[in-house]
Amino acid sequence: MTFPVIGMVGGGQLARMTHEAGIPLGIGFKLLSGAPRDSAAQVVRDVVVGDHRDLDTLRDFARGCDVITFDHEHVPTEHLRALQAEGVVVRPGPDALVHAQDKGVMRARLTEIGVPCPRHRVVTDPADAARFAAEIGGRPIVLKTVRGGYDGKGVWVVRSEEEAADPFRAGVPVLAEEKVDFVRELAANVVRSPHGQAVAYPVVESVQVNGVCDTVIAPAPDLSPELSAHAQEMALTIAKELDVVGHLAVELFETGDGRVLVNELAMRPHNSGHWTQDGAVTSQFANHLRAVLDLPLGDPRPRAPWTVMVNVLGGDFPDMYQGYPHCMARDPRLKIHMYGKDVKPGRKVGHVTTYGDDLADVRERAAHAAAYLRGTITE
């Protein structure tokens, strides 16, 4: 048997759902998890508990794996380069992944290849941030640590000199960006193989609440075919130019004058692609696996006119299972995806998807279920 063994670094829900998608393929799946009760570690047979920041741990983990891939971007780039130099197959490779790890590197490279981004530059201190603000016509501006941020963490909207101090405290380089006056956020998700095949999912709308993804609508409503094709081509260009292998999420701002600007990149399955589990012919997780195994990619097309995903965040209601009977009885098409995580306020502990022909109805059903599970509504 030559069925390969995938090693996935990181025990979060993305690894959990990637394992789920890998079971039908008959492949081996090893997990490097930070703790034995992490989301993915609860459902995977072959779990190594260890620290992804330790090179020896990574080396040991990689033995017996045919390819290493990731649930997150937090493995130090230099460790990935070391593994690669030792012959470990790392997908996406460090030269690609660094663009999802370091926002400064990402902005420089995207600008170089002509991909539209918000105006930006790395700034050295609050005074330099003030100069950047003056250059682009004034505050507010956005300051971001170039590494370590996610879900709104590591990002500050700065409206005054005083507010500009916080981002510099971590000792990480800080990127200043214009605060784009967008009409909405989109995501263009693509998957690319080592042999160069790529597929593009429909462009989706991503609705953020307090900097965290709340709702994803596939496809993005009322998006012009031209802008949709443009966004897909941009994502395919980024995947090719950065030599991405696997799933690439390109988070975009849509502006009032009909442009799209790149906000963030992620080189792994991404929250904006969860709808594909129940809404596309091939899920982002299945296609990520196919890509890192250099197998032909699956059809990315939607299976329903509209699919909506709503994240389930932790609220004050610790026992989400109690909501299952109501939600399942109310919507027999609803799919609940829970991550096995303890409920903490604001924490992403699951998501729901549903689909149908009528967008308003689909949105209502998905939003209702997520709110009910969270405990925000009780009927």
- Annotated binding-site residues for ATP read 103, 144, 177-180, 185, 263-264
Q: Does 48 bind a copy of itself (CB under 8 A)?
A: no
Question: β-strands 155-158, 67-70: how paired?
Answer: unpaired
Choose between 16 and 72: whose C-beta lies nearer to a copy of itself. 16
Kindly write down the DSSP assignment for every residue of 36-76, as one continuous string.
TTSTGGGT-SEEEE--TT-HHHHHHHHTT-SEEEESSS-S-
* 3 closest CA partner among 31, 24, 33: 24
* 249 closest CA partner among 229, 271, 227: 271
* Sign for the pseudo-dihedral over CA of 267, 272, 273, 277: positive
- Scanning 88-96, 175-183, 229-237, 312-320 for contacts with a copy of itself by CB under 8 A, the matching segment is 312-320
Choose between 26 and 137: whose C-beta lies nearer to a copy of itself. 26
Residue of the chain from 11, 298, 302, 314 that contacts a copy of itself (CB under 8 A): 298
Q: Does 218 bind a copy of itself (CB under 8 A)?
A: no
- What is the CB neighbour count within 10 angstroms for residue 134? 11
Spatial separation of the C-alpha atoms in residues 55 and 83, rounded to whole Å = 8
Residue of the chain from 162, 321, 357, 360 that contacts a copy of itself (CB under 8 A): 321
By rule CB under 8 A, what count of residues binds a copy of itself? Answer: 50
Minimum Å distance from CB 316 to a copy of itself? 15
Q: Does 379 bind a copy of itself (CB under 8 A)?
A: no
- Scanning 105-113, 146-154, 174-182, 288-296 for contacts with a copy of itself by CB under 8 A, the matching segment is 288-296
Choose between 42 and 111: whose C-beta lies nearer to a copy of itself. 42
Minimum Å distance from CB 195 to a copy of itself? 10
> Roughly what angle, to the nearest 10 degrees, separates helices 94-101 and 103-112?
110
Residue of the chain from 350, 365, 366, 367 that contacts a copy of itself (CB under 8 A): 350
AA identity, residue 185 = E
Spatial separation of the C-alpha atoms in residues 77 and 99, rounded to whole Å = 10
Q: Are 201 and 217 in contact (CB under 8 A)?
A: no
Choose between 41 and 174: whose C-beta lies nearer to a copy of itself. 41
Spatial separation of the C-alpha atoms in residues 143 and 141, rounded to whole Å = 7
Residue of the chain from 196, 221, 258, 318 that contacts a copy of itself (CB under 8 A): 318
Interface residues with a copy of itself (CB under 8 A) are 1-4, 16-17, 19-20, 23-26, 28-29, 41-45, 47, 277, 281-282, 290, 295-299, 303, 318-322, 324-325, 328-329, 332-333, 335-340, 342-343, 350
